[in-house]
A and B are shown apart, each in its own frame.
Chain A
Amino acid sequence: MATKLAESRPDGELQRKSVDAVVIRFAGDSGDGMQLTGTQFTQSTALMGNDLATFPDFPAEIRAPVGTTYGVSAFQINFASYDIMTPGDAPDVLVAMNPAALKVHLRDVPKGGTIVLNTDAFTDRNIAKAGFGANPLEDGTLDNYVTIEIDIQKMTLAAVADIGVTNKEAVRCKNMWALGLMCWMYDRDRQPTVDWINQRFGERAPAIAKANVAALNAGHAYGETAELPSGIPAYIVPKADVQPGVYRAVTGTEAIAWGLVTGARKAGLELFFGSYPITPASALLHTLSNLKQYGVTTFQAEDEIAAVCSAIGASFAGSIGVTSSSGPGVALKTEGITLAFAAELPLVVVNSQRGGPSTGLPTKTEQSDLYQAVYGRNADSPLPVVASCTAGDCFFAAIEAVRIAVTYMTPVILLTDGYLANAAEPWEIPDVDGIPEFKVDFATASDDFHPFLRDGKTLARNWPVPGTPGLMHRIGGIEKSYDTGHISYDPENHHRMTKVRAAKVDGIADDIPLQEVASGPSKGRLAVVGWGSTFGAINQAVERSLAGGLDVAHIHIRHIWPLPRNLGDLLAGYEKILVPEMNNGQLITVLRDRFLVPAEGLNQISGLPFKVSDLEAAIRERMEGQP
């Protein structure tokens, strides 16, 4: 459609310049609808067949005072005609809806980059509020950039003038105008956005729907007809050459929700999800609340403790109980988690990590809860820990967490983070029928029944469910006898039970895949070892380094605890080990402790994902002297 519109230009001479990859960042006030603009652009881009990755970056304040730098919300999308894994290091195009957005994001735009400016917003007051000494449009600040200065607000108001919306409603359409312009510039189809607008507002507020569509179309038409400054061509980003299949855009949050539902189904259980709202984990509660027809019960508890306890109570009753939070909330759940560990009930605890400690940086991403997941409990309470590494991988990681929980009758920590939770990527939809089942067999009555009868292989206790005649039993947090399941204060029994609980969790290492090398050789000069959401950035950096002839490999660990059986031997095959983490060095402690390897950390604790270029530079640095 866009191509046709382009051809309809009066001069008929539009030549689209073909580029392989583009990074666009939309930035504006948190009330300007930048996340929505970015999401819609993502949908269109996904449907165009590009590979993509996104990075929503928003403030903790819902609506900070208008025009301030701390109220700036941004959404970055990287899309390409080839396989990409990160939202991009630096934007090629910055859309700045006000001076504050320009102030915050200008430093990331490389010289020569394009900046689209909503000039209406550059009033003296806003310029001062953003912290500029003078008008950046006039004082040479932008000399090294290509700027497109448009009165977006004025244009929007004109476009919707006849529709009969209030001035305030009209102004709010300006994000759609900017989106329309970007759709024209990068040859995106507007129809998915039109459909979305109509679905969202159509029945409820037809005038608002009409205004938004009008603004979108006006922005697009502006691109077609306006005399843009020279050097601003329209672009085309050819389709990526991707594996044939059915695709959709997915965020980590959606993938975890679907993975939990799928895991429960594979186990033959109902899913119970108890949660308390916390950024950035709340979206999982919202998503699952809309999946009730798939055997899901959601419960918004009164607090984090009740959330985990309700999930434990549900597992006791024979559902798979799941709870979800971020680091501070998981801290509150800790006593409940150890109850589930002691009572040996299945439970999945999803931690969407964010910047900490304490309230920290609630809307920013971090990987700083690995210690909490692996070590952060009283007593000898080892737990399996699984970490997802991409938005799409969250689906499989969630299934794996459910599988381990029900197979081994144990709580499992599933680590994700704020970046994965919000970031979107195209995802080849898997065939659920091809995913192996792990159906649960509840205990049945027998003469030797007691609640701590164990499976000889997994060491998991049997799972007798209330309501079953003949299996009445009592469990709880007090130590239980290995032989009868009754309360026991016997010293040798406590020693034995502690050992068997640990052996059970250790034994999971025999039931998870051996560690593979994601890229590069299986022995050599340098291994870059990561976990979680750094996968994309590390992989791209290692791939580029390999292409440049460097002897480097990428190892990405999914099973943080227990670790894969071969990991120690694998790591021993490299001269150097570099461990990039978005924390002050946590996985590295585990690796050094378990394998006594001379690992070196590369730590970024900015609340932002790694840049590929920074990782490449770090790799190069450790390769100095390589022949």
Chain B
Amino acid sequence: MNVQTPVEQLKPADYASDQEVRWCPGCGDYAIVKSVQRTMADLKLAPEDLVFISGIGCAARFPYYMATYGFHTIHGRAPAIATGTKLANPELDIWVVMGDGDCLSIGGNHTLHAIRRNVDIQMLLFNNEIYGLTKGQYSPTSRLGTRSPSTPQGSVDAPVNATVFALGAGARFVARSVDTNQKHLPEILKRAHAHRGASFVEIIQNCIVYNDGAFSGWTDKAAAADSQIQVEHGKKLIFGKDGDRGLRLDRNSLSLEVVTVGDNGVAEDDILVHDETNRVLANLLGAMEHPEYPVAIGVLYCDPAETYDSAVHRQIAESVEKTPPTDLNAMLRRGRTWTVAPS
């Protein structure tokens, strides 16, 4: 028998498998795996109850680096596999890891339906706005005009905004964080884990080889204060080096505007307070893009509802209650039967 370390004593490193990590040096995925392992240790999660399920892509190698259960499946299908795993054993703590191509291109349909069903899983999107494993083609989140081996003149199709997509799919939990933000990301992962239902987390991730610096305009330390807004439920939507900039609702256009308290008669009371149960506000926050707006990080939306897996098992329990399971011989004799007597 393997000697089991009690869960209370597990450290982040105990959640790391013995496999050599094969991401490119400097890849944002290293920071994410570190955050995830730290989250597991902070929450004292039993490794045998944890399952990491992924599709295909750089991000999808994730399960191999976790000393938990893991299933590295096929491109785009991780949410569908995870749905089956969760329904078969609702006790399992399932984390789905996807890249942007995996989650929003080939697997867009499964992402949509896992979210809309509200399967109780954590869905982590590592969004680097590029295809890494296939060597640098543009992705469904690449910005218009992205030059890549398949778009030498620049991409001409509009990107999808992951958080707005998730909200449109009916998500009950949507959050965003940044790979290198080692303070913020574990806290967001804890919130995602605490949420019952499909928790969709977009993690902005830098691909050092094919899309280096794609987000540096707002993720670099120097730029962050003025170009990010950390949203927290019940707190004013304020950001900026001096903490004097904020978001105000323009009631005529039903859009957000960036204002500075004190300028043009803007009072502190004009600044919106974040309400994470407000789906409309979440949409407005998720849609904000740099440089016109600060990019919102944090829990944009959280409003739990019954999960799919619990509803499915509730119906199964109801069926058992209504028609207690008899032995299979009785099942085969339900309905009309007739007996042929020996002649």
A: residues with CB less than 8 A from B are 43, 46-47, 49, 192, 241-249, 258, 261-262, 265, 270, 272, 274, 291-295, 297, 299, 301-303, 305-306, 309-319, 321, 335-336, 339, 343, 429-433, 445-447, 449, 466-478, 486-487
CA distance A294 to B331 in the complex (A): 9
CA distance A470 to B87 in the complex (A): 23
B325 with A294: CB separation less than 8 A: yes
Map CB proximity to A onto B321-341 as digits: 1 under 8 Å, 0 otherwise: 011110111011101111111
| A293 contact from B85, B91, B325, B335, Cβ within 8 A | B325
Q: Which residue of B lies closest to A247 (CB)?
A: B338
A194 smallest CB distance to B (angstroms): 13
Q: Which residue of A lies closest to B309 (CB)?
A: A297
Residues from chain A with a CB closer than 8 A to the CB of B327 are 432
A443 smallest CB distance to B (angstroms): 12
Interface check B72, CB cutoff 8 A: yes
- With contacts A246-B339, A248-B335 taken as known, whether A313 is within 8 angstroms of B70 at the C-beta atoms is no
Question: What bracket does the count of chain B residues touching chain A fall in?
Answer: 35 or more
| B87 contact from A310, A312, A446, Cβ within 8 A | A310
B62 smallest CB distance to A (angstroms): 10
Residues from chain A with a CB closer than 8 A to the CB of B335 are 248
| B88 contact from A49, A261, A297, Cβ within 8 A | A297
B89 with A466: CB separation less than 8 A: yes
Residues from chain A with a CB closer than 8 A to the CB of B109 are 302-303, 306
Residues from chain B with a CB closer than 8 A to the CB of A473 are 69-70
A472 with B73: CB separation less than 8 A: no
Map CB proximity to A onto B288-319 as digits: 1 under 8 Å, 0 otherwise: 00000000000000000000000010011001
Provide a sorted-by-A list of 7 A–B residue pairs whose CB atoms are within 8 angstroms: A242-B340, A248-B336, A291-B331, A310-B81, A312-B81, A474-B71, A475-B71
A313 with B53: CB separation less than 8 A: yes
B315 with A261: CB separation less than 8 A: no
- With contacts A306-B83, A306-B110 taken as known, whether A313 is within 8 angstroms of B88 at the C-beta atoms is yes
A586 smallest CB distance to B (angstroms): 28
B84 with A468: CB separation less than 8 A: no
| B336 contact from A192, A303, A311, A477, Cβ within 8 A | A192
A126 smallest CB distance to B (angstroms): 36
A445 with B113: CB separation less than 8 A: no
Interface check B287, CB cutoff 8 A: no
| 6 closest residue pairs by CB, A with B | A476-B72, A313-B84, A310-B84, A474-B70, A306-B80, A317-B88
A429 with B72: CB separation less than 8 A: no
Interface check B222, CB cutoff 8 A: no
Residues from chain A with a CB closer than 8 A to the CB of B264 are none
Residues from chain B with a CB closer than 8 A to the CB of A478 are 72
Interface check B343, CB cutoff 8 A: yes
A626 smallest CB distance to B (angstroms): 38
Interface check B265, CB cutoff 8 A: no
Q: Which residue of B lies closest to A469 (CB)?
A: B48
A447 with B315: CB separation less than 8 A: no
- With contacts A310-B83, A468-B48, A469-B48 taken as known, whether A335 is within 8 angstroms of B74 at the C-beta atoms is yes
Could you tell me which residues of chain B, from 158 to 204, have a CB within 8 Å of some CB in chain A? none
Residues from chain B with a CB closer than 8 A to the CB of A243 are 340
Residues from chain A with a CB closer than 8 A to the CB of B150 are none
Could you tell me which residues of chain B, from 45 to 65, have a CB within 8 Å of some CB in chain A? 46-49, 51, 53, 56, 63-64
Residues from chain A with a CB closer than 8 A to the CB of B85 are 313-314, 316-317, 466
| A430 contact from B64, B81, B332, Cβ within 8 A | B332
